[in-house]
Each structure stands twice: as structure tokens, then as C-alpha cells.
A and B are shown apart, each in its own frame.
Chain A
Amino acid sequence: MQDLLRHAIRDAESQGAHDAEVFASISSESEVFIENNDIKQAKSQQLGSMGIRVLVNASLGFYSTNILTRDSVRTAATMAVKMARASPKDRFNSLPRKRKVHFLRGIYDKAAESFGSSDAAAAAADMLEAAKSYDSRVTVDSGNFTAARGTQFLASSNGIELREKLSTFSWTIMGMAIQNGDVSSFDFQSGATHFAKKIAVQKTAAEFAEAVTSSLGPRKVDSFRGEMLLTPSAADELVEEVISHSINSDAVQRRSSRFAGKIGKKVSTELLTAEDDATNTEGLGASSFDREGVPHRRNIVIEKGVLKKFLYNTYTAKKQGVSTTGNSGGSTSSPPSVSTTNFIVSPGKSSFHSLISEMKRGIIISRFSGNVNPVNGDFSGVVKGGKLVEKGSVLYPVKDVMVAGNVFEALKNLNGVSKERKVIFDSILPYMRFGNVSFTVG
């Protein structure tokens, strides 16, 4: 494989490319699907693909192919150079220099090599059984269990030659509870780890079953203004999306980030500390180097409510006159973008229960179904699996409640962060409570 990468770089150079980079991935995946309360299908795939990025006089061309033969790679390199010649020049286009990479431990499990489709089927069956036996009213609409392992390769005309093995196990479960014609809100839960022995499908199934059964028999409430307590999943849908957009240097440079020009300023109450950290091996976003071969590191973006830094790749860093933060992201099928790796919110001091017991009147939101505008922070949508809290007690599930507001305004009313956190693929998030939120009932 590394030979093929070297060939690709040489082909591109011989066609006239000044710089060339190849990112490739070979992986093997085994996945089992759950549908309608039963195992549905098994799927296995052998994947291999590469993406060639070339620069001709700082003009970009990019071609990706999953046909990994010498001929196909030569065509890809030729086409990429042709595209670069048709593209406008952009003086910020460049490839990073070679840097020393410290390889992470804890992202590859040798056990993944012998984890086959029968193991994946057993894990999926366990998860389904755990959800169904938790409560007979639970209906599992769908779910899956996936085991994947593979190697990523990177080579460039600047002398970078890297490779790293990764293994991941991830699972999802979604559905509802049904009782006498009453259908609960849909819920979705997931889990993920790099290690086979950390697979916890039963725990995820129980969380899902608890969420759907406890949202049966919802009642209508009147419109009110009160507190909003987001579960980690809901925080992922609402808060994570907006913050990760706003700390992205690409959005900042495109003037679509509300955080532009706010480094050193307060963007939240001091309860919020957030970081991007690919070296945290709990999250699925962990790896040793980024999409351009720059070593990954921990970047604190918001510390006690104060905005500290933005995330950069080589292109956006050059534009800004700063150094890359190792946040070049993307797959073999796109040129590098800027992306978060693992988005992590530091744990607070309160327990989840004390966050509830301090609430006067509000709603716990476990899922949010609606629109979030990451540019201006506006959100509006329907509360799913919502529960009314009054005077510190959870009263009952609610229905037809719409919530609307602005994430940036909400961060100024963040008044509680739990010490309990959940890993949601590449996010690690606590429960987050906000004051002064508008709930509308139709």
C-alpha cells in the first residue's frame, strides 16, 4: 500500500504538480442490523480508498478513487492535476511540513482482528434482548452493532509517511414504547469504544428502554418560561453543534461564526470549559495525527466561559498567520477540512440529581427535534421525551412542547453542569442546565 502512495505522488509530480499528498484507508467492517424487534441483516465489507490532493501554483485539484490499482492511481493523479489547472490560485494552499508524531496507545485492540460477524451478531442480539426484557412495552424500531478495524496511511511530497491502526466498536438503538395505542416519543441511544472488552450494549439498551417507557402518557402543559435541562444527547444536538461550528477557523474566516473577534472574551457563564482533544482515547475521534499528518494535541477552546482559541488546519492557519492546531479532518473522499476531533465539555461540580432538585420549573429534554442554526445560534423545535420538573421534582412527561431560543444567549444563562458525562461517539458531554428558556405549547 505504501508503495502505491509513493507511486501516486510521483505520478502527480511528473504531471506537473508542485505538491502532492495521498491519504488512504483500508478497513474491514462487520455490521449487524436490528429492525422491528428482531435481527435484520448482517453486512460485511472490505473497503479501500485513497484521495489525492495536488497543488499546481497553489491551485487545488482533488480526485478520490476506491479502485486501488497502479492504473487507476495514475488516472487519479492525472485528473487531479487537470482539475488544479482549472482551479483559481489560492496563495494559502500549501502542505504541512513533516513533524514528529507521538503515537497514541489505546485506539487499537488486537482482539478486533478476530472479532467476526458471529460476535457482532451476538452483541446485537444481546442489546435487543436487554431492551425487550427491560419492559414489554418497548419496541425497538432499529439499531445496529458495528465492529471496524483498519489502517490509515498518509504520504506527501514533503516527506511525510505515516500509518496508524484503529479499531472501533459502536452501537445504536432507537424506537419507542407503545401502551394501549399511546406511542411514546422516539428515542435514540448509542455507545462506542475502541476496545472489545468495553462493549456495553446492555447498558445502552437499558438507557433507551428507560427513556421511552418514562415518556409514555404525556400531558399537555401551558406555555411558560423556565429552565431547560439537556441530557448529554440533547446537548450534543443543540449546544455541541453550535459551539463546534463557532470555534472552527473556517467558519470564523468565512465570517459565519458568532465567536469571530471574541478571543479572550466571555462567551458563557464560567461553568463552561470545553476542549477539542483527539488524544483522549475515550472518544471515537481519537487518533495520533490529523488528515494532513500533523500530530494531534489537546486544545482548550473555552475556559471558565472565556473563549481561548479557534481550531485550525494548515490552510486556515496560514490565512490567519498562526500555527495549525492539528484539526485537519475529513475522509479519503474529500480534500482536508477543519473539524473537531473529540469535543469534550469538562465535568461540573453538581450531580445530575442536584441539577434537578435545584429547579423551580422547567423541562428535562432528552431529545430535540428541530432546526438549529449554527451561524446565528437560533434554535426552534419540538421537545422529545420531555419531562416537567417543578420545585425540584420530576412530575410527568409532556407533549406538544416547542422550545425556541438562541444558543449563544442560552450559554449566558448556563446555570448547571453535571459531573456525570456520556460519550456520544466523538463527544463527551455532561447534563447542562439553562435558565430563562421559552416553552410554547400549541
Chain B
Amino acid sequence: MTKDNLLQSSSSSVARGPRGADGLIDNLLSLLSSSNGTSYCEARYHSRLMTEVNFINGDMQRVRVVENAGCGIRVLVEGCWGFSSTSNIEPGALRESLAEATSSARVLAQVKKNKVKGLADSRMARGEFRLKANGNLSEVDIEQKIKITKEAEQAARKHSKLIKTASATYRELLDYKAIVNSDGGEVEIHDSKPEFSVVAVAGKTSQTATAHEGVGITGGWNDLFASKSHLDYGVEAAKRAEKLFAARHAKGEKTTIILDPGMVGLLSHEAIGHTVEADFVLSGSIVKDRIGEKVGSELVTLVDSGNSDNAENAAGTIMVDDEAVIAERTVIIENGILRSFLHSRESAMIFGVPSTGNARAFQYNDEPLIRMRNTFFEKGSDTLDEMIKETSHGYLVKGARNGQADANGEFMFGAEEAFLIENGEIKELLRGASISGNAFEVLQSIDMVGNRFKYDIGTGYCGKYQPAKVDGGGPHLRCTAVIGGLQ
């Protein structure tokens, strides 16, 4: 990969390089050359500037800028990983950190049974990568970030007397990374990920209803507010909280469920995505040994991609992972057939495939782990109207909330709104509920796939030892699952 392949950024610099870090790449490369006795060595400098503003009920609850920068050094010695990090990037401190990583790897060699066999040959990235951003966040003043957050919170709270609590949060991550490794990876990455969200709580003391409205993307200031203004987020959250407050709870039953793109994103990520992470597969996930088998309805094609496929600005876009591997579009399930797991170079070696570019680290002092990026279902041919019309009894569920999944494919996640469908028509809005089932039974049950695509879980972070900015989505999907509520 050369600089010619790079996506263009609308501004000259998305995230700045480190203060006084000229010649950083050269320093890191010279460090690699001193990594005697290691079979692999990687040095990853990561500088992150995080800005956050939060207003609750008219008060500024939080304002902060957090600078976190340093170098993570990872080595493979006698088939064992050692990882050490330091915020001091002077050559001497880097060498000390390398020595620490090397000696802890040696210690492990005495207790570890299954040694790392090696790292799969993969498409190493070289050059400079800038993730597309319209409107450089670092050029937008802190006053402006405070102002829009304050106004959006106010718009939600002032919308109606029923809104008891409102909050609005603006957050941005501006990243600069320089990654080099002993297998030829040599890359600089500039990334920009802003997010904005409003929460409105309706109701009196004993009964309340909560609604969320937000957006999280890879991109710039103008991308963040391209489809809706900051005030729209406030008003929409308030309107929904008001409606939910007046709604009844859903009844528990197993029935036909139409998932909105956000819920489809959660299904992709939580229910299936985690079971195909190769580290999870090696621990005995339900899809172990099932590559090539039918695991879902043939209407199902599921993808995890480091690029923003099908729609712009997906929050999990990385282009290059933290092992300096090009972050490929990975087809996990193709027309119902399981095709691929998600890999780092270590797991890819075990499975005899190239890495899919899923090794990610949240900050400099985190080691790369197998993580998802943008996980989604490909769209089909049905309109949402047709899907509702052809449902005699069921629910349309919207608004992805928390989700969790187990190794056996059982999942549970929350939806903010559930619309009861009777005889092909939407009858009534019900309060959010949990949706659960076995991921692969649900996949098998998918019988209609919508024709409009959207990413919609970009405000969320995935947690697996470390947070990771991910996204997910797809079209509307019709399936069978359990909706839970009060009995």
C-alpha cells in the first residue's frame, strides 16, 4: 500500500502527531533492530486526545480533555508473548520497556503449555492512512462543543413537562498511531471519531421511561451533524420518552419479531460476532468446526469490515489494525453458509488463513486483541411495509440497548421500543423489552430481509478487557425470538 491508495481527508490533519516526536518512526525502527532474541517485535506509538462534554438537567456535569500517549511494545520469545508499555518515548526508555517485555515473555515460557506457533503471513500495511473526515474536530473550539451539548440537553428537557431528566454528551477521540513491526509493517494512522447523544427520562417519581437518541461515527464535525442537528437529537429523545411513558409493558412470548437496523447491529455484533472471534472459537464456541456448514437461513449474509461498506462514516472503521494488517472486509456468513472467523495473526496461523485484520488495542498500553469492527447483515429485497403487512402477530422492535451473548449462542439484548403488530398492522407502542434466543436458531428463522441499509450502534463501545469503538447494522430483518416483559 502506498500513499496513492489512501482515502482523502478534507482537512490537512485529523489528529496531530506527538509533541516533539519528529523521527518517531525512525526511533521505533531502530528499536526493532535492537530486539535480539525475539522472533517477532512490534512497537506501537499511540497518542489520543479525548474531549468530553456532558450536561445534565441544565448543569454542566462534566468537561474534560484527556491526553494519553505512549508506546506499547510486544514481543514473541520462545513462543510466548510479552507486552510492556511506557509513556516515555525517549530511546532509552523504549529500550528498557523492550527489555521488560522480553524478560516477561521468557518467564512465561516456563509455564505456558501451548506455545504460539507463529504469526500468519498477512497483508502488511505501509504508508500513511487518514480516515475520512469532513470538518477537523481539533479546529472546532471547546466553546462550540460546550454550546451544542448545552442546547441539546435543554431542547430535550424543555420539550414537555413530563421530561424529568435530560442529559447530552459530546465525545471525540482524536488518534495518531505509528506502528512498526519486524515483519515489515510500517504505518501511520490518523483517526477521528466523534459521538453525540441525548438521553431523556419522562415521568414522575415512581414510574419513568427512558429514551436515547444519538450518533457515533468515524469522521469530522460536519459528518456528525450531517443528517440531523444537535437540537433534533434532543427533541427526538424527549418525544420518544414521552410516548414510552404512556405505553404498556410487553408480554413475554416467543413470536415473530422485526428488528430495526440498530437491533440487527446488536444481533450481528453480540449474538453472532462474538461467537466467530477466533479466540472465542478456540475456547469452544458453538461454531467451532462448522466452517462450510449451513448456520442460518440462505437470506443471511453477515460481514465484519474494517472499512465503512454500504454507508459512510461507520464508527468501527479502522482501515489498518494494530498489528499493521490491512483491515479486510470479512464475509462471516454467505447465504447462510459459515465462511470465516475473525482473526489476529496468531489465530490465523492456527487456522491456516491470513489475518482478517481484527487485532485491535484501545490505547497504547493495551495489547491487541481480536475485536470486531463494523459488523452487519447485507440487505435484501423486502420493504419494511411488506414485512409488517405479512406479519399476523408479532413485534417491530427498535432502539438497540445493552446486549450480551454466551458461548452457546444464547443472547439477550434490550430494545427501547416494541410495536405490537396484529394482522399486518402496527397496533400499539409498548415499552422496551428484552429480546433473547439462540443466535443460530434466530439466524435460521430469518425469512424476510429489508432493502434499506443503516449503521446504528456507533455510540456504543464493545467491552472485552478493553473497550473498542465498533459499529453494526444492516437492513430490517424478520425472525422468530423471545420477547421478554413482565408476566
**Which residues of A come within 8 Å of B, CB atoms?**
30, 32, 35-49, 51, 60-68, 72, 76, 79, 82-83, 86-88, 90, 117-118, 121-122, 124-125, 139-142, 144, 175-176, 178, 183-186, 223, 225, 254-256, 258, 260-261, 333-335, 369-371, 373, 375-376, 380-382, 384, 400, 402, 404-405, 438, 440, 442
CB of A46 within 8 A of CB of B86, answer yes
Task: Kindly supply a per-residue 1/0 record for chain B positions 219-250, scoring 1 wherever the CB is within 8 Å of any chain A CB and 0 otherwise.
Answer: 00000000000000000000000000000000
CB of B484 within 8 A of CB of A380, answer yes
CA distance A439 to B43 in the complex (A): 52
CB of A405 within 8 A of CB of B83, answer no
Closest to B364 in A: A66
Query: Is there a chain A Cβ closer than 8 Å to B11's Cβ?
Result: no
25 examples of A-B residue contacts, CB within 8 angstroms:
A35-B279, A38-B112, A42-B108, A43-B82, A46-B86, A64-B64, A65-B66, A65-B68, A72-B67, A83-B63, A88-B150, A117-B104, A124-B111, A125-B111, A141-B407, A176-B407, A186-B406, A186-B407, A254-B57, A256-B201, A371-B402, A375-B210, A381-B484, A438-B487, A440-B252
CB of B63 within 8 A of CB of A60, answer yes
CB of A42 within 8 A of CB of B65, answer no
CA distance A426 to B24 in the complex (A): 41
With a cutoff of 8 Å between Cβ atoms, the chain A residues found around residue B254 in the complex are 442
B273 to chain A minimum Cβ distance, whole angstroms, is 16
CA distance A376 to B165 in the complex (A): 12
Say whether, besides A66-B69, A90-B60, A370-B404, A376 and B208 are in contact (CB < 8 Å): yes
CB of A382 within 8 A of CB of B410, answer yes
B433 to chain A minimum Cβ distance, whole angstroms, is 7
Q: How many of chain B's residues touch chain A, expressed as a range?
A: 35 or more
With a cutoff of 8 Å between Cβ atoms, the chain A residues found around residue B201 in the complex are 256, 375
With a cutoff of 8 Å between Cβ atoms, the chain A residues found around residue B107 in the complex are 42, 117-118, 121
Residues B45-89 near A (CB distance < 8 A)? 56-57, 59-60, 62-70, 80-87
CA distance A88 to B149 in the complex (A): 12
Q: Which of B188-196, B281-289, B294-302, B309-317 contacts A (4 or more CB under 8 A)?
A: B281-289
With A42-B108, A49-B68 known, 9 other A-B pairs at CB within 8 A are A44-B101, A183-B286, A254-B56, A334-B62, A334-B64, A376-B208, A381-B436, A404-B434, A442-B482
B34 to chain A minimum Cβ distance, whole angstroms, is 19
Query: Is there a chain A Cβ closer than 8 Å to B100's Cβ?
Result: yes
CB of A404 within 8 A of CB of B485, answer yes
With a cutoff of 8 Å between Cβ atoms, the chain B residues found around residue A67 in the complex are 19, 67, 69, 87
A88 to chain B minimum Cβ distance, whole angstroms, is 6
A335 to chain B minimum Cβ distance, whole angstroms, is 6
B51 to chain A minimum Cβ distance, whole angstroms, is 9
CB of A66 within 8 A of CB of B111, answer no
Residues B397-429 near A (CB distance < 8 A)? 401-402, 404, 406-408, 410, 412, 414
CB of A442 within 8 A of CB of B207, answer no
Closest to B96 in A: A46
CB of B485 within 8 A of CB of A380, answer yes
B432 to chain A minimum Cβ distance, whole angstroms, is 8
7 smallest beta-carbon distances between A and B, as pairs: A442-B482, A42-B104, A41-B81, A440-B252, A183-B408, A438-B487, A371-B414
CA distance A373 to B201 in the complex (A): 12
CA distance A373 to B212 in the complex (A): 13
CB of A183 within 8 A of CB of B65, answer no
Closest to B147 in A: A86
CB of B402 within 8 A of CB of A41, answer no
CB of A256 within 8 A of CB of B284, answer no
CB-contact partner of B142 in A39, A82, A369, under 8 A = A82
Query: Is there a chain A Cβ closer than 8 Å to B185's Cβ?
Result: no
With a cutoff of 8 Å between Cβ atoms, the chain B residues found around residue A223 in the complex are 252, 487
CA distance A144 to B111 in the complex (A): 14
Query: Is there a chain A Cβ closer than 8 Å to B105's Cβ?
Result: yes
CB of B83 within 8 A of CB of A380, answer no
CB of A405 within 8 A of CB of B66, answer no
CB of B113 within 8 A of CB of A404, answer no
CB of A376 within 8 A of CB of B404, answer no
**Which residues of B come within 8 Å of A, CB atoms?**
19, 56-57, 59-60, 62-70, 80-87, 100-101, 103-105, 107-108, 110-114, 141-143, 146, 150, 164-165, 201, 203, 205-208, 210, 252-254, 279-280, 282-284, 286, 365, 367, 401-402, 404, 406-408, 410, 412, 414, 433-434, 436-437, 465, 482, 484-487
With a cutoff of 8 Å between Cβ atoms, the chain B residues found around residue A256 in the complex are 164-165, 201
CB of A66 within 8 A of CB of B87, answer yes
CB-contact partner of B406 in A118, A122, A185, A261, under 8 A = A185
B428 to chain A minimum Cβ distance, whole angstroms, is 19
With a cutoff of 8 Å between Cβ atoms, the chain A residues found around residue B279 in the complex are 35-36
CB of A39 within 8 A of CB of B206, answer no
CB of B165 within 8 A of CB of A65, answer no
B365 to chain A minimum Cβ distance, whole angstroms, is 5
B206 to chain A minimum Cβ distance, whole angstroms, is 7
A367 to chain B minimum Cβ distance, whole angstroms, is 10
CB of B482 within 8 A of CB of A402, answer yes
With a cutoff of 8 Å between Cβ atoms, the chain B residues found around residue A373 in the complex are 210
CA distance A256 to B62 in the complex (A): 17
CB-contact partner of A404 in B208, B283, B406, B487, under 8 A = B487
B147 to chain A minimum Cβ distance, whole angstroms, is 9
CB of A90 within 8 A of CB of B59, answer yes
Say whether, besides A35-B283, A176-B284, A369-B404, A45 and B56 are in contact (CB < 8 Å): no
With a cutoff of 8 Å between Cβ atoms, the chain A residues found around residue B146 in the complex are 86-88
With a cutoff of 8 Å between Cβ atoms, the chain A residues found around residue B165 in the complex are 254-256, 375
Say whether, besides A42-B107, A47-B365, A256-B201, A66 and B81 are in contact (CB < 8 Å): no
With a cutoff of 8 Å between Cβ atoms, the chain B residues found around residue A82 in the complex are 142
Closest to A223 in B: B487
CA distance A82 to B201 in the complex (A): 33
With a cutoff of 8 Å between Cβ atoms, the chain A residues found around residue B19 in the complex are 67, 72
CA distance A223 to B482 in the complex (A): 13
B102 to chain A minimum Cβ distance, whole angstroms, is 11
Say whether, besides A66-B87, A380-B433, A369 and B104 are in contact (CB < 8 Å): no
A422 to chain B minimum Cβ distance, whole angstroms, is 22
CB of B84 within 8 A of CB of A45, answer yes
CB of A42 within 8 A of CB of B64, answer no
CB-contact partner of B84 in A37, A44, A64, A258, under 8 A = A44
A276 to chain B minimum Cβ distance, whole angstroms, is 21
CB of B205 within 8 A of CB of A258, answer yes
CB-contact partner of A405 in B68, B205, B486, under 8 A = B486
CB of B57 within 8 A of CB of A139, answer no
CB of A402 within 8 A of CB of B434, answer yes
Say whether, besides A36-B282, A66-B70, A438-B487, A79 and B57 are in contact (CB < 8 Å): no
CB of A335 within 8 A of CB of B62, answer yes
Closest to B115 in A: A38
B440 to chain A minimum Cβ distance, whole angstroms, is 12
With a cutoff of 8 Å between Cβ atoms, the chain B residues found around residue A37 in the complex are 283
CB-contact partner of A121 in B108, B283, B408, under 8 A = B108
Say whether, besides A39-B108, A90-B59, A404 and B486 are in contact (CB < 8 Å): yes
CA distance A258 to B201 in the complex (A): 13
Say whether, besides A62-B64, A87-B63, A371 and B434 are in contact (CB < 8 Å): yes
With a cutoff of 8 Å between Cβ atoms, the chain A residues found around residue B408 in the complex are 176, 183-185
A149 to chain B minimum Cβ distance, whole angstroms, is 16
B54 to chain A minimum Cβ distance, whole angstroms, is 10
B29 to chain A minimum Cβ distance, whole angstroms, is 23
A193 to chain B minimum Cβ distance, whole angstroms, is 21
CA distance A384 to B67 in the complex (A): 40
CB of B112 within 8 A of CB of A39, answer yes
Closest to A129 in B: B111
CB-contact partner of A255 in B63, B64, B164, B412, under 8 A = B164
CA distance A156 to B210 in the complex (A): 39
CB of B406 within 8 A of CB of A255, answer no
With a cutoff of 8 Å between Cβ atoms, the chain A residues found around residue B401 in the complex are 371
